[in-house]
Amino acid sequence: MVVLVIVAIGSALVVPMVEGGYEGREVRRAARQIAATMHYCRGEAVALGQPQELVIDAVENSIHTTGWGRWAVLTDRAVIEDVHGGQAFSDGVVQILFFPNGSTSGAEVIIAGRRDRREHRLSIVLDPLLGTVHVGDATG
């Protein structure tokens, strides 16, 4: 009986920690996916000599590039919490432009865990002049 109680207590403690680990991993994966898509759009704009776009839809929790060349729906454990910069089309939909000279319209995208938005938050910052992308902890 004592062994069963110890196992039950251990399981009650371990399951939330494992779940939090999954959520943290999915937030990092979503941030890397958005950052990689930003790099892709910048490279395509420079290589093709034509502006490219990245559309971020916070309501649908998805992203897509010019002509839907690349698209993704983010995991259900990570959500697009906020987008600063770019051009807002409608509620939660933002367009970020990438220009042939390597510059961008600039933006900051905040990704958070669905369950605990304070613990798992990352910021993807797109520099408007250089087009560089930086992923780091979100403040606030």
More confident residue, 11 or 96: 96
Q: How far is CA 120 from the centre of its chain?
A: 12
Is the confidence at residue 18, as pLDDT, over 80?
A: no
Measured CA distances, 10 to 20, 47, 79 (Å): 16, 55, 30
**Residue 108, both tokens:** 């900051």
DSSP 28-52: HHHHHHHHHHHHHHHHHHHHHTS-E
Is the confidence at residue 14, as pLDDT, over 70?
A: no
Q: Identify the architecture of domain 2-137 in CATH.
A: 3-Layer(bab) Sandwich (3.55)
pLDDT of 67 reads 86
Rounded CA gap, 126 and 115, in Å?
Answer: 26
Measured CA distances, 44 to 7, 23, 51 (Å): 54, 32, 8
More confident residue, 9 or 110: 110
Strand-pair partners of 71: 64
| Domain segments of the chain as ranges | 2-137
Q: Dump pLDDT digits (tens) for 92-124.
A: 899 999 999 999 999 999 999 988 777 889 999
Query: In this prediction, what percent of the chain has a pLDDT beyond 70?
Result: 91
Is the confidence at residue 127, as pLDDT, over 80?
A: yes
pLDDT of 5 reads 82
pLDDT of 52 reads 96
